[in-house]
Chain A
Amino acid sequence: MRVYVLRRLLGIVPTVLMITFVVFVMMRSVPGDPVVALLGDAYDEQDAIKVRASYGLDQPILVQYAIWLGKLARGDWGVSYMTGRPVLKDVLVRLPVTLELIVLSMAVALAIAVPAAIIGALRQNTWADYTATTIAMIGVSIPEFFIGVLLLLVFSIGLGGLLPSSGWTYLPGTCPTMVCGASLWGNAQHVLLPAIALGVGRAAILTRLLRASMLEVIRTEYVTTARAKGLSERPVVLKHALKNALIPTVTVMGLQVGFLIGGAIVVETLFAMPGLGTFGIDAIIARDYQQVQGFALLTALAFVVMNLVVDLTYTFLDPRIRYA
């Protein structure tokens, strides 16, 4: 197991490097020049040439990438062209907000998907199944921003400002700013609507998948055996059927992290949250290559690590699985 984990961890390095390289090349292929955005009203071609040279932007792409990589090896993620702030510091400030959003939206997704899938599978072709399937279909079809706007209209405006429409309150002890009203309750209020907006679509996908797996599993012989042994329905479903049906679902959950990061960009923008998603989109719009690289590196790392965790979870769900 230890060897397996080590091997996988080593495998992460080329994967992440590949992603950062692709992003590096793609960003430089996108029309637009960070120096134009940086100089703004003071733009002058002669100044622009000097600024490009000072940032090494006049070098060939491979040389630029090698420089970036060299700095990264020394723990230097670069500094923003626009603000001069260290990229690592900026992404670390924003990471907790996005992590919390992603974890909670996944929790929302599971809280909806697991019961809906179980009901749908156990009562196949009944009104309960049809309801769960239809809701899942609707959830898949509606984009995050639309659900987000609906939630805003209902909970922030319609119900007299029951929940805040935007902004962020940090968890106690995590506030990166000097002026900050951190509180658990405030944090819960701020994260609820974005987590639902982001989680509903995932819930729909997981419901459909888990329902199909459950249908397959509950017809297997070991479930029949469990029932024949006289076990009540509850342990049969939760212990024997669900645990095995979760394996493909967990795989998809790992892959869904990527979609959640993408969805976080939309949801964070809509709810004006100071997370990694808004950081990434701002960086791309401003062509702040250093910040985009930092964003890509961190999200790539999050994605591959999450998938490693998912793979390791298999051993818990199915003890027959062994890694060597």
Chain B
Amino acid sequence: MPMRSSRLATLILIVVACIVAAPLLAGAQTPKRGGTLRVSYGNEIAHLDFHTAPGYEMMWVAMNVGCGLVNITPDGKFVGDAAESWHTSPDGLLYTFKLRKNVLFHDGTPVDAAAVKFSIDRLMDPATKSGMRSFYDSVHSVEVLDPASVQIRLKQPYAFMLHMLAAYRTGLVLYSPTATQKYTLEDRKQGKPEAVVGCGPFKLVEWVKGGQLVMERFDKYFVPGLPYLDRVVIRVIKDPVTEMAAFKAGEIDFIASFSPDHVETLKAQNPRAQIMTGKETTPMLAAMKVTVPKDGKPMSKDRAPHPVFGDLRVRKAIGCYGIDRKEIVKIAFQGHATPWVGMNPPGTLDTVDVNYVCPYDQAKARALLAEAGYGPGKPLTFELMTNTEKSVFSVIATVIKEQMARVGVTANIRLVDKVSWMNTTLNDGPWDMYVEDLLSLITLDSNAYLSNSTSTWTHPRHNDKRTDELYARYARELDAAKRKAIAREIQEFFVENMYWNNISGSPFYMVAQPWMKGYVYNAEFEVHYDRVWLDK
């Protein structure tokens, strides 16, 4: 009997404790409204015309000031943004979007079908010079069915239409036609708030280049109750040491992109900091130039093999067998990356592990070099270009130089700044190999404009039309299983021909104070503050 009453007492105690604690626990998780989120960017925002500006920093503003048709969740599901629903025709040629009725631009004008058409037409117009234009190659036209329905007609099926609208670079950012027509491109580039009018959770208040960017809650945002924050203030802190000091001192709440080299130090200094990372979607590559202009004129269509890497045997000897990817990852990333020879990083849709094609094998590398005519009598020397954007590039270049020496090859490192690197690579300038991590890829399809035979951004300048044919088949294939098979074919093809020489994924980190709640790491491109709140 006493035993029974003691059990009963315990049970009552537990029930009472649960009743008392429940609201407290619930209260701890209930988002609080208000407050200013202080954000640090490592680089300056180029300008604020979202359809044309380069750089992640602009994108992170665009996806908070702007809204689009659809968004993508971290697990790859599509959710409506300004569109409440959508459907695709069986032949995959028509995408019809039904728009929410209560969505407004920051200038008070409605987000209707005409506004969607206006924004897509603007992106597709060559005169706009948008970096997004090539992604709309499949789009034939945009039709307004009624104010709340818009239809995108494609020239051919495009399996990644929703991916593209949601997350290729900024995704589709809708612009207010009224504000866009009233103000000039210069006004938008300068970040005049009345000219940069989106439909996102925050409206632009001001941008002083070199000073700060301020966004405030848009009270008529179409998701009730959101955003929680009153204001977001972004400033640029370029030096990671200063960034760490500001974080440690509590001067900033969120670092949108944190240097991988300093993650361990930051962890040690701030044990309660939220250090967020996700799937590896950015390729770290040691690209090799395949062709050069025969007539010496940059970008000439008349091509000759590159004097060193025009020979596939040399590309394979150096890029495939001569590079020890595991060692690079261990030294440059302290093991926080995946050695990955395939062009589609391990966190990307339809990625395939093709590491087996290129095991580190010095003997094979030497044999291939000998076959190509290189050896002690005729040593191979090439230039390895790297840039100052990230210190890890130089570390990787140094390790590659050492690895090349092991197979009797001399790699001379040339360190340049980012603009010089862009200038050399984009303008078909003289380079042999470079180390860079290019950009985050959400799908293999989004890599086409960096690696097909026609894009300006295909730095190696291979002219293999088979790559275009493979990419086209992949993009048009609506059956997921068949698409996966083509994806494998593409990745194996690129490795076998060494048109794309990957080292590993490139890790990406975001850092938040313990009091910053509600933020979900999505992808490098995707930084949304709409559900963020401050627990302090």
- Spell out A's residues near B (CB within 8 Å): 30-33, 36-37, 39-45, 47, 79, 82-85, 90, 93-94, 149, 152-153, 156-157, 161, 164-168, 176-179, 269-272, 274-275, 278-279, 282, 285-287
Q: Which B residues between 19 and 41 are near A, CB-CB below 8 angstroms?
A: none
- A274 in contact with B211 (CB, 8 Å): yes
- B129 in contact with A39 (CB, 8 Å): yes
Contacts of A85 in B (CB 8 A): 190, 209
Q: Is B189 at the interface (CB under 8 A from chain A)?
A: yes
Contacts of B214 in A (CB 8 A): 177-179
Contacts of B238 in A (CB 8 A): 269, 272
In the bound assembly, the distance between CA atoms of A94 and B209 in angstroms comes to: 10
- Kindly supply a per-residue 1/0 record for chain B positions 397-434, scoring 1 wherever the CB is within 8 Å of any chain A CB and 0 otherwise: 00000000000000000001111101110110000000
- A156 in contact with B423 (CB, 8 Å): no
Binds A, one of B113-121, B247-255, B303-311, B325-333: B247-255
Binds A, one of B49-57, B83-91, B141-149, B344-352: B49-57
Contacts of B208 in A (CB 8 A): 93, 176-177, 274
With A44-B456, A282-B44 in contact, do A90 and B209 touch (Cβ < 8 Å)?
yes
- B250 in contact with A161 (CB, 8 Å): yes
Contacts of A165 in B (CB 8 A): 242, 245-246, 249, 251
- B54 in contact with A40 (CB, 8 Å): yes
With A177-B206, A282-B44 in contact, do A156 and B249 touch (Cβ < 8 Å)?
yes
- B211 in contact with A178 (CB, 8 Å): no
Contacts of A164 in B (CB 8 A): 246, 249, 251
In the bound assembly, the distance between CA atoms of A39 and B46 in angstroms comes to: 10
Supplied contacts A149-B241, A179-B214, 14 more A-B pairs, CB within 8 Å:
A40-B46, A40-B55, A41-B131, A42-B52, A83-B191, A84-B189, A157-B248, A157-B249, A177-B206, A271-B242, A272-B236, A272-B239, A274-B212, A282-B44
Contacts of B47 in A (CB 8 A): 82-84
Q: How many A-B residue pairs have CB under 8 A?
A: 150
Q: Give the Cβ gap from B259 to chain A, nearest Cβ, in Å.
A: 15
Say which residue of A33, A84, A282 sits within 8 Å of B210 (CB atoms). Answer: A282
Say which residue of B185, B299, B418 sits within 8 Å of A285 (CB atoms). Answer: B418
Contacts of B513 in A (CB 8 A): none
- B242 in contact with A285 (CB, 8 Å): no
- B133 in contact with A42 (CB, 8 Å): yes
With A33-B427, A45-B299 in contact, do A83 and B419 touch (Cβ < 8 Å)?
no
Q: Is B237 at the interface (CB under 8 A from chain A)?
A: yes
Say which residue of A32, A47, A153, A278 sits within 8 Å of B417 (CB atoms). Answer: A32
Q: Give the Cβ gap from A153 to chain B, nearest Cβ, in Å.
A: 7
Q: Which B residues between 99 and 147 are near A, CB-CB below 8 angstroms?
A: 129-131, 133
Q: Give the Cβ gap from B370 to chain A, nearest Cβ, in Å.
A: 36
Count of chain B residues with Cβ under 8 Å from any Cβ of A? Answer: 55
Q: Give the Cβ gap from B281 to chain A, nearest Cβ, in Å.
A: 17
- Spell out B's residues near A (CB within 8 Å): 44, 46-47, 52-55, 129-131, 133, 169, 185-186, 189-191, 205-206, 208-212, 214, 231, 233, 235-239, 241-243, 245-246, 248-251, 269, 299, 416-420, 422-424, 426-427, 456-457
In the bound assembly, the distance between CA atoms of A32 and B422 in angstroms comes to: 8
Contacts of B249 in A (CB 8 A): 156-157, 161, 164-165
Q: Give the Cβ gap from A180 to chain B, nearest Cβ, in Å.
A: 8
With A36-B426, A179-B212 in contact, do A41 and B169 touch (Cβ < 8 Å)?
yes
Q: Give the Cβ gap from A302 to chain B, nearest Cβ, in Å.
A: 18
Q: Give the Cβ gap from A74 to chain B, nearest Cβ, in Å.
A: 19
Contacts of B206 in A (CB 8 A): 177-179
Say which residue of B185, B245, B299 sits within 8 Å of A156 (CB atoms). Answer: B245
In the bound assembly, the distance between CA atoms of A279 and B209 in angstroms comes to: 9
Contacts of B52 in A (CB 8 A): 42
When C-beta atoms are compared, the residue in chain B nearest to A276 turns out to be B210
- B190 in contact with A43 (CB, 8 Å): no
- B251 in contact with A274 (CB, 8 Å): no
In the bound assembly, the distance between CA atoms of A37 and B417 in angstroms comes to: 12
Q: Give the Cβ gap from A298 to chain B, nearest Cβ, in Å.
A: 14
When C-beta atoms are compared, the residue in chain A nearest to B54 turns out to be A40
Q: Give the Cβ gap from A268 to chain B, nearest Cβ, in Å.
A: 9
In the bound assembly, the distance between CA atoms of A177 and B246 in angstroms comes to: 22
Q: Would you mind naming 26 contact pairs between A and B with Cβ atoms under 8 Å apart?
A: A32-B417, A32-B420, A32-B423, A33-B427, A37-B46, A41-B54, A42-B52, A44-B129, A45-B456, A83-B209, A84-B189, A94-B210, A157-B269, A161-B248, A161-B251, A164-B246, A165-B242, A165-B249, A166-B237, A167-B246, A177-B206, A179-B205, A179-B212, A272-B242, A282-B210, A287-B419
In the bound assembly, the distance between CA atoms of A85 and B249 in angstroms comes to: 34
Contacts of B231 in A (CB 8 A): 179
- A272 in contact with B209 (CB, 8 Å): no
Q: Give the Cβ gap from A165 to chain B, nearest Cβ, in Å.
A: 4
In the bound assembly, the distance between CA atoms of A161 and B238 in angstroms comes to: 20
In the bound assembly, the distance between CA atoms of A149 and B240 in angstroms comes to: 11
Q: Give the Cβ gap from B280 to chain A, nearest Cβ, in Å.
A: 21
When C-beta atoms are compared, the residue in chain B nearest to A42 turns out to be B131
Contacts of B44 in A (CB 8 A): 282
Q: Give the Cβ gap from B218 to chain A, nearest Cβ, in Å.
A: 16
Contacts of B424 in A (CB 8 A): 31
Q: Give the Cβ gap from B248 to chain A, nearest Cβ, in Å.
A: 5
Q: Give the Cβ gap from A144 to chain B, nearest Cβ, in Å.
A: 13
Contacts of B190 in A (CB 8 A): 83-85
- A47 in contact with B419 (CB, 8 Å): no
Q: Give the Cβ gap from A300 to chain B, nearest Cβ, in Å.
A: 20
Q: Give the Cβ gap from B183 to chain A, nearest Cβ, in Å.
A: 12
Contacts of A179 in B (CB 8 A): 205-206, 212, 214, 231, 233
Contacts of B269 in A (CB 8 A): 157
In the bound assembly, the distance between CA atoms of A301 and B130 in angstroms comes to: 39
